[in-house]
């Protein structure tokens, strides 16, 4: 497991005062269910470290979004022997967080924002991107290079 973090000095602002500069967290995880669980836990820990405790609505929302994107990377973007990358970027001022999950299947793109088909009522799956669309301010997918794609979303933390 590779962990690539850039931490700015720890500032402990009050609940409505997040004035820290941009912060970044990135890690490569195995494209397995265990890797997806670890992505969720590490995101919760990092957000807690940045000033949004585990029991806040912002932390819980980020955990859900990371879980959905990481699970999709494992289910739909997995290539045997290739990892997926989780990247969190806290915007300057701490008002928004960008969540980005990069996998090894650029040919398997999600539907465009606003074009997600309704899930079948008979199935227990197919609702993850609907949650991402509902809980984030905006989201999308980009080609990082010929070998990967990134699915990202941004969420307001206030």
Domains contained in the chain, CATH given: 33-114+126-156 (3.30.565.10)
Q: Is the pLDDT of residue 19 over 70?
A: no
What local confidence, expressed as pLDDT, does residue 22 receive? 83
- What is the arithmetic mean of pLDDT over 128-153? 93
Q: Is the pLDDT of residue 12 over 70?
A: no
What local confidence, expressed as pLDDT, does residue 14 receive? 46
Question: Bridge partners of 24?
Answer: 6, 89
What local confidence, expressed as pLDDT, does residue 123 receive? 73
pTM for the predicted model, two decimal places: 0.83
Tell me if 63 sits within 8 A of 6, measured CB to CB.
no
Reported as a single tens digit per residue, the pLDDT across 23-33 is 999 999 999 99
Strand positions, DSSP E, the chain: 2-6, 23-30, 83-90, 96-103, 138-145, 148-156
Q: What distances in angstroms separate CA 124 from CA 39, 66, 120, 121, 127, one per listed residue?
A: 22, 19, 8, 8, 8
Reported as a single tens digit per residue, the pLDDT across 66-106 is 999 999 999 999 999 899 999 999 988 889 999 999 999 99
Q: What distances in angstroms separate CA 68 from CA 19, 44, 82, 150, one per listed residue?
A: 28, 14, 19, 13
């Amino acid at each position: 497991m590779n962990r690539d973090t850039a931490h700015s000095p720890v500032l402990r602002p009050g609940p409505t005062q997040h004035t820290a500069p941009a912060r970044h967290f990135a890690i490569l995880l195995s494209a397995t269910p265990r890797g997806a669980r670890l992505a969720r836990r590490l995101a919760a820990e990092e957000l807690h470290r940045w000033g949004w405790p585990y029991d806040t609505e912002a932390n819980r929302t980020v955990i859900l979004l990371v879980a959905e994107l990481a699970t999709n990377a494992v289910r739909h973007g997995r290539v045997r022997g290739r990892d997926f990358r989780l990247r969190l970027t806290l915007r300057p001022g701490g008002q928004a967080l960008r969540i980005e999950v990069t996998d090894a299947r650029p040919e398997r793109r999600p539907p465009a924002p606003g074009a997600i088909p309704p899930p079948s009522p008979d199935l227990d799956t197919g609702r993850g991107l609907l949650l991402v669309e509902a809980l984030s301010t905006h989201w999308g997918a980009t080609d990082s290079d010929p070998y990967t794609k990134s699915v990202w979303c941004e969420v307001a933390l206030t």
